[in-house]
């Protein structure tokens, strides 16, 4: 009898290990809530069933799908790229904005972003980003930036896709920056990446049309901009939303303010050992209103420290 | 022998009828070109094979998927809606713009569009459009507007989707106007409708968030705007494009200016009996540069009169 029970338990554990779609998540309330939600909306006989076309799940990127410290990675890309450009351009090398931006001067950083992001065709810009993602490494973690994506969140993306969801990135980051790696890294195609944008211009050069990036902000996909960006690109309201900072507040609010089953979660950076620990008062990824109101609004906090077995994707 | 040949021919005709994915298209160069293109890009062993993720096909709406005479249907919607609103609002009824717009005054029409399209939530606006599409009828053709869609083009959409393409609407029409009927009428989900837009605002009213439409143009998805709109929403270049007027010129140019197999076609309104006949000099759907350059650019003209067996979808 004891042997039989033991065998049964072993078999069950093996079956569980083989089929657990979220192996990097510790068992607990958060993981249970995710799995229950997915089971509820995919059960055709259940009262909470949602048709596949309406299974829209939105994800912030910086701090939700990959790290964002000590600076948004796109800002590091701008600094790295400006340095590389300056090595071939003495006038740029003499520009004081480069040194000031590296020291954290916000206004100088905006100038460096303009220098590296505009007055180029979209194709050239995408090439610049790809070149950087394959070569640059994080200053303290010494990994490629695309290897600083969160393994539990990548499992979550796959799990939702396998259950008929369409997953979308909705980020304050630049849309063309993210599209250069999102399809390969997250399995999310370019048409499901929503982000901030600068103005563009269609131009025919010697008979060949190009899209030129202009040094002027068009749309900021942050705070109130997130529901607007979602509405403009998708045209329907998500049923699940994942963020990490107060920049995601309105996205979670918009997602959870309609009838029917809804899921909203905030990645809480509470793991100083394996990643970074910050929330209120952080200069990046500040989380204050979200912490205060999550409970009352039915949003869950994902504790990096307790809910995740591993943080980063394995190095390639 | 004669009987056997005859039987064989009959059987072949039956098989053909049963499997022809484009039954409303007459046999000819245009239909052959469409079918050859689809076969070429879906043949994994062929030199022109294109992976499903890159099989992006874009369609103009007005004049390409449904009629656009005597006025863009969205303008008729604005006039009809303004009249209905005026019946309940004496101040609006006294507004001279209503009568002037009905007489074709462009400036007055812009005012009527602002009155009927802005200062409303997105949900209210979608309801207004749905109400109109189910009740209003075309002034001379006496059908519902959604029954003035072209049967051959609907077959083409289905044929492409069945072959792993993603089909997109890219129209000068308003994106929220089209989304109210495109999923049901064309089988194209809201996230694959690109159009012109007005600015919007996120607002929380008594704890309930809404998206409010503002009376200010944000983006005009016409001419040079079409490749920009495609690039912004999709992030990859289409391999097939269908339009009908010079407003589609840049979309076809952008689609066909990259290496690899490409297909571009222009619906030519040359059927005064079954639809309308117009091209150069028309006040709506003017086609001039497209007619002049189609041949040299390898774009095909679809003759409504010769290439289509039927024009409109059967009435429901």
Residues of chain A falling short of pLDDT 50? 1-15
Check B211 against A227: CB less than 8 A apart. yes
A:36-65 residues touching chain B, CB 8 A cutoff: 53
Percent of chain B with pLDDT over 90: 91
User: Which residue on chain B is closest to A166 by alpha carbon?
Assistant: B191
The backbone torsions φ and ψ at residue B310, rounded to the nearest 5 degrees and listed phi first, read -130, 160
Q: Across the A/B interface, how many CB contacts are shorter than 8 Å?
A: 78
- Radius of gyration of chain B measured on its C-alpha atoms: 21
pLDDT of residue A18: 60
Closest by alpha carbon to B240, among B223, B220, B225, B260?
B260
Q: Nearest 10 degrees: CA dihedral of B287, B291, B292, B296?
A: 140
Give me the pLDDT at residue A7, please: 46
CB contact under 8 A, A209 and B233: no
The string of pLDDT tens digits covering residues B12-53 is: 444 455 689 999 999 999 999 999 999 999 999 999 999 999
Residues B155-177, mean pLDDT to the nearest whole number: 98
- The pair phi, psi for residue A217, each rounded to 5°, is -65, 135
pLDDT for B315 equals: 76
Q: Does A234 touch chain B (CB under 8 A)?
A: yes
pLDDT digits (tens, 9 = 90+) for B213-258: 999 999 999 999 999 999 999 999 999 999 999 999 999 999 999 9
| CA distance to partner chain A, nearest, from residue B137 (Å) | 26
Q: Is A122 on the interface with B (CB under 8 A)?
A: yes
Question: Residue B18 has what pLDDT?
Answer: 60
Q: Do A186 and A169 form a contact (C-beta atoms < 8 A)? A: yes
Single out the residue of A192, A77, A187 nearest to residue A127, CA to CA.
A77
A202–B254 CB contact, under 8 Å = yes
Residue A207: closest CA among chain B residues belongs to which residue?
A: B257
Say yes or no for a CB contact (<8 Å) between A209 and B176.
no
d(CA B68, CA B276): 9
Query: Does A211 contact chain B (CB < 8 Å)?
Result: yes
3-state helix, strand, coil in chain A (%, to 5): 45, 20, 30
**Which residues, numbered 250 to 279 in chain A, qualify as contacts with chain B under a Cβ-Cβ cut-off of 8 Å?**
250, 253-254, 257
Is the minimum CB–CB distance between B208 and chain A shorter than 8 Å? yes
User: Is the Cβ of B211 closer than 8 Å to some Cβ of chain A?
Assistant: yes
Q: Is A200 on the interface with B (CB under 8 A)?
A: yes
Residue A305 CA to residue B231 CA, distance in Å, equals 39
Beta pairing class for B193-205 and B120-121: unpaired
CA distance B128 to B126: 5
Rounded to 5, what percent of chain B is helix, strand, coil? 45, 20, 30
Q: Distance from B180 to chain A by nearest Cα, in Å?
A: 10
Q: Looking at residue B316, what is its pLDDT? A: 64
Q: How distant is the Cα of A191 from the closest Cα of chain B, in angstroms?
A: 4
In this prediction, what percent of chain A has a pLDDT beyond 70?
Answer: 94
Q: If we measure between CA atoms, which residue out of A293, A198, A281 comes closest to residue A243?
A: A293
State the alpha helices, DSSP H only, in A211-278: 225-233, 249-256
SS3 state at A202: strand
ipTM of this model? 0.92
Burial zone of A141 (CB within 10 Å; 0-12 exposed, 13-18 middle, 19+ buried) = middle
Q: What is the pLDDT of residue B273?
A: 96
CA distances to B91, B97, B113 from B94, rounded to whole Å, are 5, 9, 16
Contact: B176, A122; criterion CB under 8 Å: no
- Given this model, what pLDDT does residue A104 score? 84
Q: What's the Cα-to-Cα distance from A68 to each of A122, A173, B153, rounded to whole Å? A: 24, 11, 47
Least confident segment among A109-113, B74-78, B291-295: A109-113
Rounded CA separation B73/B94 (Å): 24
Q: What is the pLDDT of residue A157?
A: 98
Q: Which pLDDT score, from 0 to 100, does residue B77 have?
A: 97
DSSP assignment, residue B198?
Answer: E
- The tens digit of pLDDT for each residue in A35-88 reads 999 999 999 999 999 999 999 999 999 999 999 999 999 999 999 999 999 999
Q: Nearest-CA residue of chain B relative to A122?
A: B231
DSSP H/E element including A198: strand A193-205
CB-CB neighbors (< 8 A) of A179 in chain B: 235
pLDDT of A316: 64
Q: A45 CB contacts (<8 Å, ≥6 apart)?
A: none
> What does the pLDDT read at residue B19?
87
Q: Which chain A positions have a beta carbon within 8 Å of B253's beta carbon?
A: 204, 209
pLDDT the model gives residue A10: 45
Say whether residue A232 is in contact with chain B using an 8 A CB cutoff: yes
């Amino acid at each position: 009898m004891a042997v039989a029970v033991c065998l049964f338990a072993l078999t069950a554990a093996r079956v569980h290990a083989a089929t657990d779609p979220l192996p990097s998540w510790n068992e607990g309330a958060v993981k249970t809530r995710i799995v229950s939600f997915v089971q509820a909306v995919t059960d055709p006989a259940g009262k909470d069933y949602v048709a596949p076309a309406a299974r829209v799940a939105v994800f912030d990127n910086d701090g939700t799908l990959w790290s964002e410290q000590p600076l948004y990675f796109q800002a590091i890309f701008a600094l790295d790229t400006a340095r590389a450009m300056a090595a071939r351009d003495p006038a740029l090398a003499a520009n004081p904005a480069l040194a000031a931006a590296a020291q954290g001067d916000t206004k100088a950083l905006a100038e460096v972003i303009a220098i590296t992001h505009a007055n180029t065709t979209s194709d050239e810009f995408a090439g610049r980003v790809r070149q950087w993602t394959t070569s640059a490494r994080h200053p303290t973690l010494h990994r490629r930036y695309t290897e600083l994506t969160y393994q539990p969140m990548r499992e979550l993306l796959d799990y939702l896709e396998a259950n008929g969801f369409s997953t979308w990135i909705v980020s304050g980051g630049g849309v063309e920056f993210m599209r250069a790696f999102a399809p390969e890294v997250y399995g999310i195609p370019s048409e499901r990446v929503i982000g901030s944008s600068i103005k563009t211009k269609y131009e025919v050069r010697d008979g060949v049309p190009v899209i030129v990036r202009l040094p002027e902000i068009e749309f900021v996909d942050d705070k109130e901009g997130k529901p607007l960006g979602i509405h403009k690109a998708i045209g329907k309201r998500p049923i699940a939303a994942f963020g990490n900072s107060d920049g995601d507040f309105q996205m979670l609010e918009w997602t959870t303010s309609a009838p029917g089953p809804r899921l909203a979660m905030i990645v809480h950076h509470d793991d100083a050992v394996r990643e970074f620990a910050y929330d209120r008062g952080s200069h990046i990824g500040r989380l204050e209103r979200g912490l205060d109101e999550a409970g009352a609004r039915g949003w869950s906090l994902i504790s990096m420290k307790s809910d995740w077995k591993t943080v980063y994707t394995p190095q390639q």
